[in-house]
Amino acid sequence: MFLDRDGTIMRDVEYCGDPRQVEIYPGVPRALEQLKAAGFGIYVITNQSGIGRGYFTEQAYRTVEAEVARQVGQGLIDATYFCPDHPDKSSKRRKPETGMILEAQRDYGVDLSRSFMVGDKSIDVKCGHAAGLRTILVETGDQKSTDATGADWTARDFVEAAEIVLRHAI
């Protein structure tokens, strides 16, 4: 189970470098618990260009990441992969490229054919499809139009996305 962070499991704060801005959406911790109980590994895949743009440091990002883990519940997220690169820099890790997913596959032996990608933007869907994942677009982020994304499913929020995953897991 791969998921985006900002706009997917937490309120999207433009360039979040302050842990006081972390606001996990209602129901996310319980949904993650259900996915873990069903045997899913959970991997956050997040672009963090605020680092590359100089808006905040990697240490500030790590502090935010720790607050996300605290609010969702320790042990529910197996790993977080982030890309600090500026969007103008060529990067195999920055979504919609698949580098972070392939790193998690290598690190944890993930079976991509049985995996899902949940995100709030078309780049999340593109990344998931490029890696061979089934994709779910949530409507909680800034991208309100879901028509042209090509996602396999659209969900109101992460809670509904988790329900879709649990219904369609093989």
Instruction: Provide CB contacts within 8 A for 63, sequence distance 6+.
Output: 19
Determine if residue 90 is left, alpha or beta; phi over 0 gives left, psi from -120 to 50 gives alpha, anything else beta: beta
Q: Is 57 helix (H, G, I), strand (E, B) or coil?
A: coil
Give the catalytic positions in this structure.
4, 6
The C-alpha atoms of residue 113 and residue 110 are separated, in whole angstroms, by 9
Tell me the two tokens of residue 127.
């990344």
